[in-house]
Amino acid sequence: MRMLSVGLLLCLFHPTSSASTLSPADAVAIDTAVEAITPKVIEWRRHFHQNPELGNREFKTAAKIAEHLKGLGLEVTTGVAHTGVVGLLRGGKPGPVVALRADIDALPVTERTDVPFASKVRTTYNGQEVGVMHACGHDTHTAILMGVAKVLTDMKERIPGTVKFIFQPAEEGPPEGEEGGAELMVREGVLNNPDVEAIFGLHISAGQEVGTIGYRKGGLLASADDYRITVKGKQAHGSRPWSSVDPIVTGAQIINALQTIVSREIPLTQNAAVVTVGSIHGGVRSNIIPEELTMVGTVRALSPDMRLKIHEAIKRKATLIAQSNGAEAIVEIPLTTAYPVTYNDHQLVDEMLPTLQQVAGAANVQIMDALTGAEDFSFYAQKVPGFFFFLGGRPKDVPEEEAAGHHTPDFYIDESGLGLGVRALSRLALDYLQHRADRGTTGE
């Protein structure tokens, strides 16, 4: 048997040993361009923050994004998955296609921060009047990707391949009765024509220190399924409970039993899991035992097998407890949301980690624990290799325990970290394409 050369062995077993094949001139060009565009990125972010729109209703947001991309000369498609915008940048050299994704929707949260660009927007959501706020940082994601589009367009002749910019609506879920988000974008072909080879995305983190990047191979974020349990009983006067089949008592027993799924049926040393009841509705006054009760909640899991096991346990417990009380339980799971585990491709992370370390400094790029939050970036990563990471947004002088959480009225982001986000996504796209050009992989 012939002996493999040392160089070939390194190529086979250490394909990512080189931190980057991007030329020093291109790296400097990106740094210079990012520094120049960052004030504009902050301006865009503040505009979106002050003018938030809920999922599938991001009409003005999408129009501003499309105007920007068209102004750069990109091929622009609008109306994807209702309000999504896709921009295509064809580089000056042949090569594969890489995608970058940002989500653009806000949340039904009333803002409580004192920033001068705080949202005052109100609208109707599922029949209720609500405040609207970018309480999860999607405004920063959108502004960052707009900045990346500018940076890469200005050096398009040096790009060996194509970059697809995906601005996605309804990451937080579409309104009840509608479809939307990444799942619909994938179904409508956003990863095709031309076919995407890999995809990158980031999420701002209010609890992670500004200037840092957090990542993890494999399962990074949990699957997410919402559910509804409807308990049907028999109505009676509150003074004669023996004449009823009480859905409220039955519902209370079901809620208690659901808490034993994680504590008694799931091997928590392997992965975390969550079963939460978030809302209960039943009855209209103190002296009427109602006929029906409904509860809704969420399930989180970090493995597909655990996800299915929890679904089965919810159905079993709710159904049998209701039967034991003479009631009926109807379990709908998933109800409107069904996100897979957000999974980072091991090989892609190994290949691109040196890029993030160069951009942020090795000490500022940290392995993080898996989170029980969810992200519909997972739908893209089911189809093509994906790498999703977290960008620090907590001010350095704010202790982690004092940082307001995501989806809360006091959510706050230090904008000084947005430039790092632009630099990271720009370099990931270019380095990925350049790696393939160096290996002779030209794509289409």
Say which of 183, 343, 415, 432 is annotated catalytic.
415
Secondary structure percentages of the chain, helix, strand, coil, to 5? 40, 25, 35
| pLDDT of residue 2 exceeding 80 | no
Residues 212 and 309 in one domain: no
Residues 304 and 411 in one domain: no
Say which of 53, 111, 171, 339 is annotated catalytic.
339
Q: What is the CATH number of the domain that holds 281?
A: 3.30.70.360
What would the mean pLDDT of 279-302 be, rounded to a whole number?
97
123 domain residue, yes or no:
yes
Residue where a domain stops, chosen among 319, 338, 357: 338
Residues 248 and 143 in one domain: no
62-83 pLDDT tens trace: 999 999 999 999 999 999 999 9
Please, which residues bridge with residue 388 across strands? 201
Residue 83, domain extent: 15-220+341-438
The whole-number pLDDT of residue 16 equals 40
The whole-number pLDDT of residue 185 equals 98
Residues 377 and 388 in one domain: yes
Residue where a domain stops, chosen among 338, 356, 376: 338
Residues 352 and 331 in one domain: no
Angle at alpha carbon of residue 423, lines to 378 and 206, rounded to 5°: 60
Mean of pLDDT over the chain: 93
Q: Is 242 in a helix, a strand, or coil?
A: helix
Whether residue 108 has a cis bond before it, omega within 30° of 0 = no
Query: Exposed/middle/buried for 8, CB within 10 Å: 0-12, 13-18, 19+?
Result: exposed
Instruction: Give the C-alpha separation, 404 to 413, whole Å.
Output: 10
Residues 287 and 378 in one domain: no
Residues 31 and 153 in one domain: yes
227 is catalytic: no
243-262 pLDDT tens trace: 999 999 999 999 999 999 99
What's the structural domain count of the chain? 2
125 is catalytic: no
10 domain residue, yes or no:
no
Residues 245 and 371 in one domain: no
Binned at pLDDT 50, 70 and 90, residue 443 comes out as: low
What would the mean pLDDT of 114-120 be, rounded to a whole number?
98
Determine what percent of the chain is predicted with pLDDT higher than 90. Answer: 89
